Amino acid sequence: MIKIAVLGVGRMGREIIKQAAANFKIVATIDSPKSEFLGKDAGILSGIEPIRVTVESSENLAGILDRAKPDVVVDFTNADACAKNSKIISDKKVNMVIGTTGFTEEQMSELKNNITKNNIGAVISPNMSIGVNVFWNLVRDASKFLRDYDIEVVEAHHRFKKDKPSGTALKTAEVIAKETGKNKEEIPIHAIRAGDIVGDHTAVFATPGERIEITHRAHSRMAFVNGVLKAVKFIYGKKGIYGMNEVLSESAV
């Protein structure tokens, strides 16, 4: 059974713990030193039976990894925390699945350098949803044929989401820019933060006389968790840096 540590016990982290408990061995759960969840059983926090793993402070990350010896660390924290913690995780030779968003180019470069330098494996994606990764492929195909259309991205999330625009929207703009020869900054992104919207993303292609819209809507966080668990299985024992395309290609075989 693959041993995992979950870094970040926010909404996504707790859903991952809840769904992973049946088929993976959760050996550690870790959160910010200021977290209200420290010392609490991660299973109970996630709405399941106790798993006898309490939430610990990221201040003790190196020691936790030495003791728990996870095969894979799943990171859903924030860009600053992930950039800092990834160096410790990489130095400990532990593979990673990173769904954290909001990285600067410098942070992402440092993250990838740490992984490469330590010869470990990682899946990095701003969105682990299987559907979103299919959405990106559809957007890529449409962009090839609709280069001269007006192209904009609209995204909506719940009021508590901190990064704006979302990592998924930025990746969508990047996909469009690559196929149209534009800079990603030229692709307008409209971000909505309201209510309890889990995550909606639309690429709009418009020209006088017609409009094409490609949309993905997440109805629950399970859309993301399913992809995370596939990524954990995929990266177990591997080396190198991968995206969800490779994960989904392998699982489809």
pLDDT per position as a tens digit, 11-42 = 899 999 999 999 999 999 999 999 999 999 99
pLDDT beyond 80 at 115: yes
Told to judge if 157 belongs to the known catalytic residues of this protein, a careful annotator would answer yes
Buried (b) or exposed (e) across 76-103, using 16+ Cβ within 10 A?
bbbbebbbebbbbbbebebbbbbbbbbb
Q: Are residues 87 and 75 in the same domain?
A: yes
**DSSP-assigned letters across all residues of 88-152:** HHHHTT-EEEE------HHHHHHHHHHHHHTT-EEEE-S---HHHHHHHHHHHHHHHH-TTSEEE
Catalytic residue among 3, 18, 117, 157: 157
The pLDDT of 238-253, averaged and rounded, is 85
**75 and 7 within one domain:** yes
105 and 153 belong to one structural domain:
no
How would you write 118-130 as a 3-class SS string?
CCCEEEECCCCCH
- List Cα–Cα distances, 209 to 119, 144, 205, in angstroms: 53, 19, 11
Measured CA distances, 234 to 8, 82, 111 (Å): 21, 21, 20
In this predicted structure, what is the pLDDT of residue 248?
A: 87
Peptide bond just before 165 cis, omega within 30 deg? yes
Main-chain dihedrals φ then ψ at residue 165, nearest 5 degrees = -70, 170
Question: Cβ distance 28 to 70 under 8 Å?
Answer: yes
**Cβ count near 131 (within 10 Å):** 16
SS3 1: coil
Q: Are 74 and 228 contacting, i.e. CB atoms less than 8 angstroms apart?
A: yes
| CATH number, position 17 | 3.40.50.720
Other C-beta atoms closer than 10 Å to the C-beta of 27 total: 18
Among candidate residues 25, 84, 93, 161, the one labeled active-site is 161
- pLDDT over 80 (residue 165): yes
Task: Kindly report, residue by residue over 78-96, the tens digit of the pLDDT.
Answer: 999 999 999 999 999 999 9
pLDDT value at 252 more than 70: no
Which residues, including other chains, have CB under 8 Å from residue 145's CB and lie 6 or more apart? none
User: How far is Cα 147 from Cα 66, in angstroms, rounded to an integer?
Assistant: 51
pLDDT tens profile 39-79: 999 999 999 999 999 999 999 999 999 999 999 999 999 99
Query: Domain range for residue 139?
Result: 130-218
User: Are residue 247 and residue 214 in the same domain, yes or no?
Assistant: no
Same domain, 167 and 107: no
Residues 111 and 11 in one domain: yes
pLDDT at 253 over 50: no
Percentage of the chain lying above the pLDDT 70 cut: 99
Domain count, the chain: 2
Q: Does 192 lie in the same domain as 69?
A: no
User: 139 and 66 share a domain?
Assistant: no
* 226 shares a domain with 213: no
Average pLDDT score over the chain:
95
Identify whether residues 11 and 97 lie together within a single domain. yes
Task: Supply the angle between the helices 222-235 and 244-251 in degrees, to the nearest 10.
Answer: 80
pLDDT confidence band for 250 (50 / 70 / 90): confident
- The verdict on whether 158 is a catalytic residue reads no
Q: What is the CATH number of the domain that holds 157?
A: 3.30.360.10
114 in the same domain as 163: no
Are 240 and 201 within one domain? no
In whole angstroms, what is the distance from residue 92 CA to residue 73 CA?
A: 11
